[in-house]
Amino acid sequence: MRNAKQTAPRRRRHPAAQAAVRAAGRTLGRAAEILEAVTVKRSLDLVLGSALLALAAPALALAALALAVRHPRDPGGVLRREIRTGLGGHPFELCSLRTRRFRLDLLSRLVHVVRGQLSLVGPPPLAPDDPALLEAAAGRWRRELRPGLTGLAQVQARSGMPWDEPALLDAHYAEHHGTWPDLAIMARSVRIHLRTEFRALTRQGKDRLSDTDHRLPNYSVAE
Q: Report the alpha-carbon distance of residue 223 to residue 220 in Å, rounded.
A: 5
In a domain, 143, yes or no: yes
CA dihedral 43, 47, 52, 54 (to 10 degrees): 140
Q: How many domains are there within the chain?
A: 1
pLDDT reported for residue 125? 93
Contacts of 144 (CB under 8 A, 6+ apart): 87, 88, 174
Containing domain of residue 191, as a range? 37-202
In a domain, 173, yes or no: yes
In a domain, 66, yes or no: yes
Asked if 50 and 114 count as a contact pair (C-beta separation under 8 A), the reply is yes
Q: How does residue 187 score in pLDDT terms, banded at 50, 70 and 90?
A: very high
pLDDT reported for residue 192? 85
pLDDT at 205 over 70: no
pLDDT at 11 over 60: no
In a domain, 220, yes or no: no
pLDDT in tens, 106-129: 999 999 999 999 999 999 999 999
